[in-house]
Amino acid sequence: MRKTHKLSFVRQCVAFLLSKSAREIPHAAGNVEFDVTPVIEYGERVIREIKSSGGKLTPEQITKMAVHKNLSAFYLKTIAHVTHHFPIINGYLEWTPIRDGGRFHEMEDIVPLFTVHTKRGVMGPVIRNPHKRTLIDVANEMRTLTRKARRTDMNQLYRQIAAELLSTAVRELDLSGLPMMWLWLKSMLWPAPIDEEVKNTPEEERLQPKDVIGSTITIANIGMSIDGWQTVTVIPSPHVFMWGVGLTRLMPRVVNGEIVPRHVMTICVTFDHRAMDGGHIFDFERVMNGYFQHPERIFEWKPGDPV
């Protein structure tokens, strides 16, 4: 044995929640490959047009170029649009087989949680209703939340979140919150020291509980963290669906009988088989491919346009 160390409060919370999910949720998963060449080519064309316009670039032009080069916001907004067409994946399952068989609570708002890798671990800020906002707006908020995530002490944030969730559980007499109460109590009695690197970060520059609570779906962007293109994820309860966005790769593909280079990406989906069958949601491939083949529907979307 080389070394033994105690789990941080964050790891204890993650272990508790994901162990519960793995025990209770019958997971089903699938991977679908998409040709995203039109998305890449559209972005490259817009960047060329801006660069060839002459003169000093404005802040708006620089932002537009960034959004067309880094496609994280594009994919998050696309997933929100697809989710709008499949409301069964946007909600919570209340599984009570003895009492009444259970209920599915379909949510009005679409609130994706996206993963941010930091030196202190993975954090999950949320974006509210990106399908109703312009891509520039979504990208700006993602950038702000990502910056805050990298300046936040995770143990401190999780203690704040646990306190809020426990307060709600007590008000609603929800006994399922008791294990989390014990974790929170231990963390308050024997708190881990705050990371010195972020200790003096002003509160407004750190993530707050409201920035990470209330998600309805989760997006794991594995292609941003590592050169990975497939994953099978554990759905965070009480969600019923999780997306995985793989790395975009230049690969040989057959188009019109010829082998040509194409930009391809794998979308991985994991769903709760209690809430739905594959037949309920695998038509998402057709809807999502429509956005990838006509990327202007996302890049140029404005309020009032069809979702």
Q: Which of 283, 300, 296, 301 is nearest to 83 (CA)?
A: 283
pLDDT score for 182: 63
The total number of residues written for the chain in this structure: 307
Summarised one tens digit per residue, pLDDT across range 259-278 is: 999 999 999 999 999 999 88
Q: For residue 86, how far is the Cα from the chain centroid?
A: 17
pLDDT score for 74: 97
Residue 170 has pLDDT above 80, yes or no: no
In the DSSP assignment, the letter for residue 264 is E
Mean local confidence (pLDDT), 143-162: 89
Does some domain include residue 105?
yes
pLDDT score for 181: 67
Does some domain include residue 247?
yes
Four-point Cα dihedral 116, 119, 121, 123, nearest 10? -30
Q: Is 278 helix (H, G, I), strand (E, B) or coil?
A: helix
> How confident is residue 225, by pLDDT bands cut at 50, 70 and 90?
low
Does some domain include residue 275?
yes
Q: Which domain holds residue 119?
A: 27-151+208-299
Q: Lowest mean pLDDT: which of 57-66, 125-134, 218-227?
A: 218-227
- Residue with more model confidence, 35 or 102: 35
Q: Which of 121, 138, 120, 142 is nearest to 129 (CA)?
A: 138
> How confident is residue 175, by pLDDT bands cut at 50, 70 and 90?
low
Q: How many structural domains compose the chain?
A: 1
Six token digits for residue 269:
């989906």
pLDDT score for 193: 72
Q: Lowest mean pLDDT: which of 6-20, 31-45, 207-221?
A: 6-20
> How confident is residue 46, by pLDDT bands cut at 50, 70 and 90?
very high
Does some domain include residue 123?
yes
Mean pLDDT of the chain: 88
DSSP per-residue codes, 74-129: HHHHHHHHHHHH-GGGSEEEE--TTTTS-EEEE-SS--EEE-EEETTEEE--B-S-
Does some domain include residue 66?
yes
Does some domain include residue 294?
yes
pLDDT score for 77: 98
Q: What share of the chain is helix, strand, coil (3-state, %, to 5)?
A: 45, 20, 35
* Percentage of residues in the chain having pLDDT higher than 90: 60
Does some domain include residue 160?
no
Does some domain include residue 56?
yes
For residue 34, the domain's CATH number is 3.30.559.10
In the DSSP assignment, the letter for residue 204 is G
Residue 34 has pLDDT above 70, yes or no: yes
Task: Measure the CA–CA gap between 173 and 191, rounded to whole angstroms.
Answer: 27
Q: Lowest mean pLDDT: which of 66-80, 125-139, 145-159?
A: 145-159
pTM of the model: 0.90
Summarised one tens digit per residue, pLDDT across range 69-113 is: 999 999 999 999 999 999 999 999 988 877 888 889 999 999 999
Summarised one tens digit per residue, pLDDT across range 180-208 is: 666 666 666 666 777 778 888 898 999 99
Q: Lowest mean pLDDT: which of 13-22, 70-79, 144-153?
A: 13-22
Contact at 8 Å (CB) between 10 and 154? yes
Residue 229 has pLDDT above 70, yes or no: no
Sequence-distant contacts of 248-257: CB under 8 A, at least 24 apart: 248/36, 248/40, 248/71, 248/223, 253/35
